[in-house]
Amino acid sequence: MRADELREMYLDFFKSKGHSVISGSSLIPQNDPTVLFTTAGMHPLVPYLLGEKHPSGIRLCNCQKCVRTGDIDSVGDTSHLTFFEMLGNWSLGDYFKEDAIAWSHEFLTSKSYLGFDPKQLHVTVFEGNENVPMDEESVAIWQKLGIPREHIFALPIEDNWWGPAGKTGPCGPDTEMFIDTGKVACGANCRPGCSCGKYFEIWNDVFMQYSKQEDGSYLPLQQNNVDTGMGVERTIAMLQGKRNVYETELFAPVIEMVSEKSGKRMDESEKTGMAFRVVSDHLRSSVFILGDEQGIAPSNVGQGYVLRRLIRRAVRYAKQLGLEPGFSGPLAGTIIDNYKHVYPELDSNREHITRELVQEEEKFEKTLTRGMSELEKVLSKLVEHKQTQFPGRVAFKLYDTCGFPLEFTEEICEEHGLKVDHQGFDKAFAKHKEVSKQSAEKAFKGGLADNSEATTQLHTATHLLHKALQMVLGEHVKQKGSNITEKRLRFDFSHPEKMTMEERQKVEDVVNDVISKDFPITVDTMTIEEAREAGAMALFSGKYGEQVKVFTIGDFSKEVCGGPHVERTGELGRFRIAKEGSSSAGVRRIRAVLEA
């Protein structure tokens, strides 16, 4: 079974169980300040898991683009990925453990679907602790479905508990499903979750029935929810009998191109294989981040910093393979061609993706040269004073400001008889990560996580600004990102040049005219097709006809949105553009405020 068949089969299966198929969300979270990227299908749904009504109902399913970079330095082995697709289904206060587990079992073992031998299926459940009892209910359901007790493993909180995205929030036990690959057990304690590879995790059902409090206690949620996840890449690798995901059709075209351009084979050595995997994984992730509807550019903080790391790590391993400079553009084109039928935004953003990748590749070549110069200056002084350790904070500075990889620093230091202070490097890195985290939290304040009056007013003003920019500058203007706090809004939009003072004034005048007319703001629920037919602006690629909220502002604008709005434009006060400048190539940024 290929990935295209799996996606379709999964969504059709849950449609038959009464689920609405909803489009996946942006990789850039709009309502979760705790993560830089969407790391699971549940992140865009947090407000609905907490009780807000979803326009598409209480049973949902989709295929969600995800990026996880917490273990980015582990990527290069045969199991870790930074970008992946997650199939998921949700119950928002509707069905719970019995139906969720029964449907997972049916999809995995039925000959009409994946057709795994039930004897291969092993599962884990939460063993309980001092706060929450063991999940005996899930054990009983699995046994009722024919899974023998010896195939059911009770594991601790670090294995079978889905915690809240932040310090507090919805959480609960999970049950995970594994396929026995037939490999010989590594020992008496071999069990699902063991790293030896005997058991292959394929699905995870999370039962969100608790809310973690500030004091660490757990209270029952006002509604019991189900949140499940099945990784596309891992599942098709298992179904196709492949040794790892890099042997599937999702990676084959880019692997073949790397082989053709380098003259090497992925299986000729472990070092070469790792380089192949890093280049193909990191470039795939970079293409999806750059091609996202809320796409960002490489930078030195937050998501842009992660994107920069991905691209530069790919460049470093490409050098090991002997790939010629400029390799990233053609490889990106291959990745786009492989996915554009599923994610058309990649094709429509092809030029932007290629330009950013090539520019970052060129910048890295220059920073490597600069980093080498800086490293040699420090080394000469250390050697002169007969030092044996290279300061970790300096190694991180080279890594952070020059993009100089730690491995390069270590190799060169070793040639001069020095060792790098890893503790100092890790300390400096941890400090930088905290700064990035704080930056992300500031950047996302004002999404659905903050429904304060001031933020709601500014969010509404953002809609007026978007429409006014299209009226003044042209229909090519499209939102590329927004960041709203209680004090100001920040709005990124596509436009090739700096706005004139006359254009700024015209935009202000349009917005303030709408405010002065005190238009009512109404909301209707309809399918995405109906919304487009009604003339609503929709910034995402809705493919499945799910229900969406459409906000209409008098006769001025109509837009698909899930965020909070005021009831009338007259509540907003006076709109003023405080600053307009460049965000990235072809993208401008406006900062604006509302004044009494």
| Residues 288, 250: Cα–Cα separation, whole Å | 13
End-to-end C-alpha distance for the chain, whole angstroms = 61
Report pLDDT for 165.
Answer: 61
CATH topology assigned to domain 453-595 = Threonyl-tRNA Synthetase; Chain A, domain 2 (3.30.980)
* Residues listed for the chain: 596
Span 528-546, mean pLDDT? 71
Lowest mean pLDDT among 18-32, 119-133, 269-283, 302-316: 18-32
- Label residue 499 by pLDDT band (50, 70, 90): very high
Choice between 36 and 229, residue whose per-residue pLDDT is larger: 229
CATH number of the domain located at residue range(s) 3-246 in this protein: 3.30.930.10
Other Cβ atoms closer than 10 A to 558? 20
Q: Is 522 helix (H, G, I), strand (E, B) or coil?
A: strand
Instruction: Compute, in degrees rounded to 10, the torsion defined by CA atoms 353, 358, 361, 362.
Output: -150
**What DSSP element (H or E) covers 208?**
strand 199-212
Cβ atoms 285, 298 nearer than 8 A: no
Chain segment 346-367, per-residue pLDDT in tens: 999 999 999 999 999 998 888 8
**pLDDT over 50 (residue 526):** yes
**pLDDT over 90 (residue 452):** no
Give residue 477's identity as a one-letter amino acid code.
Answer: V
| Residues 594, 512: Cα–Cα separation, whole Å | 10
